[in-house]
Structure 1
Amino acid sequence: MGDHAMQTSRQVIDNLMRGKPAERVGFTDSPWLQTLAAWVDQGYPTDDAGQPVAPVDHFGFDMVDSGCWFPWDAKLNANQVIEESSDWRITRNGSGAALKYWKEKAGTPEHIDFHMTSREIWENEYKPHVVGSAPQRVTAEAIGDTRKNLQTQRQQNRWAHFGHMFIWEGMRRSLGDVCLYESMLLDPDWIHDYCRTYTDLYKACYTILLEQAGIPDGVWIYEDLGYKNSLFCSPDTYAELIFPYFTEMCDFFHRYDLPVVLHSCGFTEPIIDMAIEAGFDGLNPMEVKAGNDPLRIADKVGDRLALIGGLDARILESRDRNLIQTEVIKLVDGMKDRGARFVFASDHSLSTNVRLDDFQFAISVYRDHMLY
């Protein structure tokens, strides 16, 4: 390529997000903490304290979360451990939900019990703690840490993003699934009130962060909207009760010229057009084992949406190098052939069943095929 300087990670991802020419397919992923610990025994490097080095540094990921996970529970500093064993801990959060967390396993918590089961409880016990509370949630310490993270990643020329869950995940961890789904049908005004209240809170919190900590390169919104082969509710219900607030948040971030990525595990193909209409600029992770077909998605929207993920993590877990090579080439070349704006990554995260050398092999295959 002569004296031509390759685009930096930041330039590659920014161009992919904005539909501009990128020289190569992007790259990122998300190994579990337990996976990194297991990889140490397989040769993964550690820092001076004996902890695994950051994977974004070791593998050269193009994008990195730079923080801003401000506390979202209605009541601040209200978490209470109500039961504990050597393997797990049940904690009641500041929104009244008792959730079970495993100490040695990654993943979402198990739902145990919920107190916010009516509009009256929400209005009397929780909503007053949310309204106007942004300054208590985005502290000077959080602002300073976020500013420092942004500066560090900018020095590395990485695409640095903010990230947080939003209204859907908040309701699941406040009302619980049963109450949430029933209320969407029986008391939609309550759902709207919850979403309105939290959308106002998030906009206020992000305003503080953006104006005092600095402007990132983009924002991720983490909302798991589906499970295996299905959405959690119909597209029409999402369109009526949830996506108007997604649109509002995308519009808010776009006023800062920030691309917005929707992270949603589970089957999401039926709502991808809705996501584009709402203003999302990227989609992750296109979970294959939930029923998504990344190349089919690319055929439909690859020129309108940056696609992040799509490599079935079970392929990496197979320890079959021929299979890994075949599937990585199929995915990367397939995306390029379709003109898709693609960031190579697994379709969920990297579990302890993925060996370090197999992941490194997949990366080497990707790098052989990454140029557009």
Structure 2
Amino acid sequence: MQTPREVVDSLLRGKKADRMGLVDSPWADTIAAWVQQGYPTRMVYKKVGDQRWRREDGRWEDVETAGEYEEPVPSWEHFGFDLVGIGPWFDIMPLRDYEEMVEETDAWDIRRNGAGAALKYWKHKSGTPEHIDFRMTSREVWERDYRPYLLTLDPERVDLKKMRKSAKDASKFPVWRHMGNMFVWELMRQSMGDVTMYQSLLLDPEWVHDYNRVYTQFYQAHFTYIFEQLGTPDGMWLYEDLGYRNGLFASPKVLSELIFPYYKEMIDFFHSYDLPVVLHTCGSTAQAMPLIIEAGFDAVNPMERKAKDNDPFVFAERYGDKLAFIGGLDARVFETNDKDIIRREVTAYTEGMKARGARVVFASDHSISPNTHYDSYLYAVQVYREHMLY
């Protein structure tokens, strides 16, 4: 029987695998709720400056007094996931180590990042940050205030110590270890904001090209440094949400001209290190699938079922010879907390994908919310294991 690492490697490289893989991503709120339902924790010694877990809301905070603190067993370790992320941790904002507290309450805070964007973060619940204010509103601002800081390698941006520890912890298990980060699409959103970004895609495409060119070279320089210092992982992820529920955020034509050429450059760069590359992209991605394949991605995630035309069975039939699939099981199935429904849907999905010859890592089509009970997810994993063999 193949090890978890061998299973995922085979799936992503188009080789024969013994079984489907397994992975998922419960929210911090979910783990906190599950701890109350029997999810295991352990005591871990923490030094001053380390991060400790808060049982009340699942958030992490700085340790002020050294000692042993409770924290949940990592979900990948507890459930036996086949993939685990090991970073990278490096500052990708133009202004390194910059964070300005704009406003703070007991429930949330607004912080301005090193690209001039003010984002609102909730303190006691999970969720994407709310866009508040952006300073990078023109090419002139980009060129004057931010671009110059991205043109050279800066090792001080990279937290090698944290990455070494993460890789060491994961190396105790025979799992597929990956690094990953957002890239040019999500970076633009967290730099310019949606309004300036979408207008610039049409009105100032040369600025978009320049932004993407600078960041592509910035990523390549820093990943080269990371690989030289730490060695390579087993693969890479790029996190780029290109769609919403009813379609893509931009037309395939715009994406093909302004975004995907830089994806291809990064994929070619990672492939030169013999690293498979996974694209995580939420929303409706059906129209982008030909572009995803042409760029050279090895797998796609998560195939959000609530979004238009995201049918994993159709994707498997059309693109299964070129892509592996990570995800695709409607997370709302878990949220029913009905074992009959969970068994029916997990069985239908796993057997349906196998019948189509698909290379699959079993996962939900979105991260797992607190609406899913701990025993419901355990049961879903049990049913998956009954049907995982090819």
User: TM-score scaled to structure 2, two decimals?
Assistant: 0.92
Q: What displacement does 1:337 show?
A: 0.4
Who is 1:332 aligned against?
A: 350
Query: Equivalent residues in 2 for 1:198-217 (5 A)?
Result: 198-217=215-234
Who is 1:3 aligned against?
A: none
Who is 1:112 aligned against?
A: 132
In 1, the alpha carbon distance for the partners of 2:165 and 2:357 equals 36
Who is 1:189 aligned against?
A: 206
Q: Is the 8 A contact 2:152 2:218 kept in 1?
A: yes
Who is 1:298 aligned against?
A: 316
* 1:248-303 deviations in Å (ceiling 9; x for gaps): 00000000000000000111111112111101001000010122111111111122
In 1, the alpha carbon distance for the partners of 2:2 and 2:169 equals 19
Q: What displacement does 1:144 show?
A: 3.1
Who is 2:148 aligned against?
A: 128
Who is 1:169 aligned against?
A: 186
Q: What displacement does 1:23 show?
A: 0.3
In 1, the alpha carbon distance for the partners of 2:162 and 2:383 equals 36
In 2, the alpha carbon distance for the partners of 1:284 and 1:95 equals 28
Q: Between the two proteins, what is the percent identity of the paired residues?
A: 56
Who is 1:58 aligned against?
A: 78
Q: What displacement does 1:133 show?
A: 4.1
Letter in 1 for 2:106: S
Q: Which consecutive unaligned segments of at least 5 residues does structure 2 have?
A: 44-68
* 1:197-219 deviations in Å (ceiling 9; x for gaps): 00010001100111111110000
Alignment RMSD: 1.0
Q: Is the 8 A contact 1:69 1:163 kept in 2?
A: no
1:88 aligns with 2:108: yes
In 1, the alpha carbon distance for the partners of 2:163 and 2:231 equals 8
Matched position secondary structure for 1:289: coil
Query: Equivalent residues in 2 for 1:248-327 (5 A)?
Result: 248-291=265-308, 292-327=310-345
Who is 1:103 aligned against?
A: 123
Q: What displacement does 1:121 show?
A: 0.3
In 1, the alpha carbon distance for the partners of 2:166 and 2:98 equals 27
Question: Which deviates more from structure 2 when the two are superposed, residues 239-248 or residues 270-279?
Answer: 270-279
Letter in 1 for 2:30: T
Letter in 1 for 2:109: R
Match of 2:10 among 15, 24, 49: 15
Matched position secondary structure for 2:126: coil
Q: What displacement does 1:148 show?
A: 3.4
* 1:303-354 deviations in Å (ceiling 9; x for gaps): 2111000111111111121111111011111110000000000101011111
Who is 1:356 aligned against?
A: 374
Q: What displacement does 1:155 show?
A: 3.1
* 1:181-235 deviations in Å (ceiling 9; x for gaps): 0001000000000000000100011001111111100000000000102100000
Who is 2:167 aligned against?
A: 150
Who is 2:20 aligned against?
A: 25
Match of 2:264 among 247, 254, 257: 247
How many residues in Structure 1 have an aligned counterpart in Structure 2? 364
In 1, the alpha carbon distance for the partners of 2:359 and 2:171 equals 22
Structure 1 residues 155, 252: CA separation in 2 closer, same or farther (over 3 Å shift)? same
In 2, the alpha carbon distance for the partners of 1:290 and 1:206 equals 33
In 2, the alpha carbon distance for the partners of 1:267 and 1:348 equals 13
User: TM-score scaled to structure 1, two decimals?
Assistant: 0.96
Who is 1:233 aligned against?
A: 250
Matched position secondary structure for 2:333: helix
Q: Is the 8 A contact 2:328 2:364 kept in 1?
A: yes
